Structures are given as structure tokens and as C-alpha cells.
């Protein structure tokens, strides 16, 4: 398995030849300090950072790849490993190896990917749910959408922000594959990671402010005195002007931090959000029903219900990582990697269907 090094990296033991040396050679080529190939330089963006090889002093013959720990910055990382491509065997595989791989998941060629496992943090129970490779292999063309949506459900709601951000990341990787004919990847995976903890989840505005996105007069987002209550949030529903004002104190500032354009520096620890014409938007209707009594002692669940269903257009990318991993079967090529491209496109379609429905 993967080991953690005290310096914050992870150690992946080198596999027996030819797989291990092939993976090491791949990393060495991509991360060569003299590399000037634009295709490989861009590829670095989609891989864990590589820090060479490492051997323990007590076992100098054991070799490990020293890699960035993609999950390290997360408080409650939700992790999913998805093998990509129509074939999980390389061009040099024996007939026996091919038969073995095909029999593991006969739908690989049709679906183009396989869920190898997932670990999802449930806010409601403060615990993780884990699924292994048998879960992924049980998914059919009809059930794969529901199977993957399970990864993005935190016990309260579907994390649409994480899905939208994941789609954007996978689309960038697809763009890279569409533009390169140097390498073909077999039995390689995408590692998905998003923040499952409420306190560490950020809902941000993009460079276009909320006012511009939703057609709200800009003056409504200007600074002003913010009400602060001991239970961290106070919601006012004004029937006179249809505004809702929420004040989130320091303890939850990381949870729903707005873009710096949307609040003044003197209120940097708080969120002030005012939206007009609530009745025009069903998403915000639910928030007008929240009363002070409902929120007392139950802040996070109520906030989850409101913010997990915020329209995607007013969200910046959630705290999500999607990285390519496992390169024991990467080979030089002079054609596009159509099998991997097929898998990426199909995965994007499934993710988009989850988001839309």
C-alpha cells in the first residue's frame, strides 16, 4: 500500500519489473529538470508532484517512489480511485493476462472506466463510508450513475459544488489527451479528492461578484454593520423588502467564505450576504423559512441544506483535486489515446448527468 513519510509526502513501493521500473522511468521523464517538451510540462499539472525515489536505511534494497500527498491539505478528504480506459491491459499483455483482466470487469470496454474504491465522509454521522473494488465491479451501465453519485453524497445532500469542480478538472485532462500523441496509458487511474468537512468547505464567489451573477444591485453587497449572535448565525426574513441577511461568525468563516470583493476587510472574519427578489429563485426560498429557533444548536445541518443547493453559477470551484496516478503501463505512441479519451468523455457524461438530475 501507500505509506506516509514524516515530511508530508507519500511512498509508493516500486513494483517488480517491468512495471516498477517503467513507472519510475515515466516519472523521471516527465519531471526531468531539463525537460522542455510542452506536452510533458503541462502533464505535470495533472500528476502528483514527484520527488524521486527513497529507500529506508534499514532496507536499502527496497525502493519507493516519493510523491506528493494529494490528500494532505484536506481536513476530511473524500477519495475515489477510478481506472480509466477501455482496456485495463497493455499491448504487450499475454492472452492469459488479457482474459484475466477482461473477466474482472467485462463492461470496461463499453463504460470506459471502473471505480476501484471510494471513501466518503458523512457529515451526519461524523464517519467514513468505504467501498472497495467489488463495489465498482458490481456497477452496470444502468447503475453506474447512482454508483458514482454515492461518492458525492455527504449524508445530508449531494455535493453539487464538488461534482461541478470535478467535471472542470476532468475536462482539462481531456483537453491534454486530445492534444497529445506521445503516450498511451493503460490501467491508469484518476484520483478524486474533495473536502468532506463542513468547517473546511469553502463556497466562494468567482471574480464576477454575486451581484453581477444574479442581477442584484451592487450596492446591496457593500459593507455595513453585521449582526453577531452567540449561535454563530442569525437569519432575518424581512417581508418589507424581501431581503435575507445572514451573519456567520468567525467559527464558520472558512465554511462559507466569500470572495474578497464581496466583503470589506474590516469584516474579514464574517460573511454578509444580502439577496433581493428571493421569491424568484426556489433555491433561496428554502432559506427564508429558516428561523432562529431552527438554527439554535443545529447550525451546520441547516447551513448544509441551504448552501449545498446553491446554484452552480454563483460558485467558484470547490476544494477539489483530480490527479492522474498509476503509470506502470504507459507506452510511447504516435496516435491519440482513444481508449483513455473514450473513458474520460463517458465519465464526464455520467458526472454531468448526476449534476443535472
Q: What pLDDT is stored for residue 39 in this prediction? A: 98
3-state secondary structure of 350: helix
Report whether 11 contacts 4 (CB < 8 A).
yes
Is a pLDDT exceeding 80 seen at residue 100? yes
Question: Could you report the per-residue pLDDT of 163-210, keeping only the tens digit for each?
Answer: 999 999 999 999 999 999 999 999 999 999 999 997 644 444 343 334
Report whether 333 contacts 181 (CB < 8 A).
yes
Q: What pLDDT is stored for residue 215 in this prediction? A: 43
Report whether 78 contacts 158 (CB < 8 A).
no
Range with the largest mean pLDDT of 13-22, 209-218, 255-264: 13-22
Is a pLDDT exceeding 70 seen at residue 113? yes
Q: What pLDDT is stored for residue 298 in this prediction? A: 53
In the structure, what pLDDT confidence band is assigned to residue 51 with cuts at 50, 70 and 90?
very high
Q: What pLDDT is stored for residue 199 in this prediction? A: 61
3-state secondary structure of 13: strand
Query: What's the average model confidence in pLDDT over 322-351?
Result: 98
Q: What pLDDT is stored for residue 123 in this prediction? A: 94
DSSP assignment, residue 317?
A: P
In the structure, what pLDDT confidence band is assigned to residue 126 with cuts at 50, 70 and 90?
very high
Instruction: Give the chain's largest Cα–Cα span.
Output: 75
pTM reported for the whole predicted model: 0.71
In the structure, what pLDDT confidence band is assigned to residue 288 with cuts at 50, 70 and 90?
very low
Question: Could you report the per-residue pLDDT of 237-280, keeping only the tens digit for each?
Answer: 333 333 333 333 333 333 333 333 333 333 333 333 333 333 33
Q: What pLDDT is stored for residue 194 in this prediction? A: 98
CA atoms within 13 Å, Cβ hemisphere of 21: 3
β-pair partners for 287 = none
The residues, any chain, with a CB within 8 Å of residue 321's CB and separated by 6 or more, are 70, 71, 169, 191, 192, 193, 194
Least confident of 14-23, 192-201, 305-314: 305-314
Is a pLDDT exceeding 50 seen at residue 216? no
Amino acid at each position: 500500500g501507500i505509506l506516509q513519510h514524516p515530511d508530508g509526502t507519500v511512498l509508493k513501493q516500486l513494483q517488480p519489473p517491468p512495471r516498477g521500473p517503467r513507472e519510475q522511468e515515466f516519472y523521471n521523464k516527465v519531471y526531468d529538470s531539463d525537460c522542455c517538451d510542452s506536452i510533458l510540462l503541462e502533464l505535470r499539472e495533472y500528476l502528483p508532484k514527484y520527488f524521486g525515489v527513497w529507500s529506508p536505511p534499514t532496507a536499502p534494497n527496497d525502493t519507493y517512489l516519493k510523491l506528493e500527498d494529494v490528500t494532505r491539505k484536506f481536513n476530511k478528504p473524500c477519495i475515489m480511485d477510478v481506472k480509466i480506459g477501455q482496456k485495463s491491459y497493455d499491448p504487450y499483455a499475454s492472452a492469459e493476462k488479457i482474459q484475466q483482466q477482461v473477466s474482472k470487469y467485462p463492461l470496461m470496454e463499453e463504460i470506459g472506466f471502473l471505480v476501484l474504491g471510494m471513501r466518503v465522509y458523512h457529515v451526519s454521522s461524523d464517519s467514513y463510508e468505504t467501498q472497495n473494488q467489488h463495489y465498482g465491479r458490481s456497477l452496470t451501465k444502468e447503475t453506474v450513475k447512482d454508483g458514482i453519485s454515492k461518492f458525492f453524497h455527504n449524508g445530508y445532500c449531494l455535493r453539487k459544488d464538488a461534482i461541478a469542480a470535478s467535471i472542470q478538472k476532468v475536462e482539462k485532462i481531456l483537453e491534454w489527451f486530445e492534444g497529445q500523441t506521445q503516450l498511451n496509458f493503460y490501467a491508469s487511474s484518476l484520483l478524486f479528492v474533495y473536502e468532506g468537512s463542513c468547517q473546511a468547505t469553502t463556497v466562494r464567489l468567482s471574480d464576477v461578484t454575486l451581484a453581477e451573477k444574479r442581477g442584484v444591485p451592487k450596492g446591496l453587497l457593500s459593507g455595513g454593520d453585521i449582526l453577531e449572535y452567540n449561535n454563530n448565525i442569525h437569519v432575518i426574513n424581512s417581508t418589507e423588502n424581501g431581503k435575507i441577511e445572514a451573519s456567520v461568525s468567525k467559527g464558520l468563516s472558512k465554511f462559507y467564505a466569500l470572495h474578497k470583493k464581496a466583503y470589506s476587510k474590516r469584516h474579514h472574519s464574517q460573511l454578509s450576504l444580502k439577496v433581493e427578489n428571493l421569491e424568484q429563485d426556489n433555491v433561496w426560498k428554502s432559506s427564508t423559512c429558516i428561523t432562529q429557533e431552527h438554527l439554535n444548536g443545529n447550525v451546520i445541518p441547516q447551513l448544509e441544506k441551504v448552501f449545498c443547493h446553491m446554484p452552480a453559477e454563483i460558485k467558484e470551484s470547490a476544494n477539489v483535486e483530480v490527479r492522474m496516478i498509476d503509470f506502470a503501463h504507459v507506452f510511447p505512441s504516435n496516435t491519440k489515446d482513444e481508449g483513455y479519451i473514450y473513458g474520460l468523455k463517458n465519465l464526464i457524461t455520467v458526472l454531468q448527468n448526476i449534476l443535472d438530475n
